[in-house]
C-alpha cells in the first residue's frame, strides 16, 4: 500500500464521499481497467454491511462492464492533483479510448479484488457487487450495490 494512504473504517470521512465527484473503476473481460465520472452514489450500512450504491446509465460502457464482465468495482475520490481526470472520464467513452492513460493516472492493484484503485485520491473503496436493481423512478439508470471490502483515506485528509 502506498505511503500516502491508510486503511480506514469504510463509513469514516463520508462528508468527502458526498461532496466529491467520484471516479468509478471497472474492468473488462481481459482485465483492462476503465473509469467513469460518477456523482450518483451513496454510502451507508445495509444489514450490518458497509455498502456503496451507484447509479449507472444503461448506455454507458461501464454498465456493460459491470453487467457482463465483473462483479467488482472501485470508487475513488480524487485530490485536486488529479481533478482533471473527472473531465476526461466524463467526456470520452472507454469503448473508444483508454481514459486512464489519457489522464495519466497511476493505478494501485486491489488488495481484496482484481479491480485497481487510483493513486492520489482522498478516498478509495474496493467493492464487491452484492446485487443490482432496475429503477422505476429513473428508468435510464441501473443501481449496483457494492459491499465495501476495504477503504482507504489519504494521509493528507487524515492529518
pLDDT digits (tens, 9 = 90+) for 53-102: 999 999 999 999 999 999 999 999 999 999 999 999 999 999 999 999 99
Q: Count up the domains in the chain and report the number.
A: 1
pLDDT score for 31: 95
Residues of the domain holding 94: 5-158
Please report the beta strands in the chain, taking only residues with DSSP state E, as ranges in sequence order: 5-8, 22-27, 33-38, 41-46, 49-57, 72-78, 107-108, 117-118, 121-134, 141-154
**pTM reported for the whole predicted model:** 0.94
- Residue-wise pLDDT for 105-131, tens only, equals 999 999 999 999 999 999 999 999 999
pLDDT interval class at 157 (50, 70, 90): confident
CATH number of the domain enclosing 58:
2.30.110.10
Amino acid at each position: 500500500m502506498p505511503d500516502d494512504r491508510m486503511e480506514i473504517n469504510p463509513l469514516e470521512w463520508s462528508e468527502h464521499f458526498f461532496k466529491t465527484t467520484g471516479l468509478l473503476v471497472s474492468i473488462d473481460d481481459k482485465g483492462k481497467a476503465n473509469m467513469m465520472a460518477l456523482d450518483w452514489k451513496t454510502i451507508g450500512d445495509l444489514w450490518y454491511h458497509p455498502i456503496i450504491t451507484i447509479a449507472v446509465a444503461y448506455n454507458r460502457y461501464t454498465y456493460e462492464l459491470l453487467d457482463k464482465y465483473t462483479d467488482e468495482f472501485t470508487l475513488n475520490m480524487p485530490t485536486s492533483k488529479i481533478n482533471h481526470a473527472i473531465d476526461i472520464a466524463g467526456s470520452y467513452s472507454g469503448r473508444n479510448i483508454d481514459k486512464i492513460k489519457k489522464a495519466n493516472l497511476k493505478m494501485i492493484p486491489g488488495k481484496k479484488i482484481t479491480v485497481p484503485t487510483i493513486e492520489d485520491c482522498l478516498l478509495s473503496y474496493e467493492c464487491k457487487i452484492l446485487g443490482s436493481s432496475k429503477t422505476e423512478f429513473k428508468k435510464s439508470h441501473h443501481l449496483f450495490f457494492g459491499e465495501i471490502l476495504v477503504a482507504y483515506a489519504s494521509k493528507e485528509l487524515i492529518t
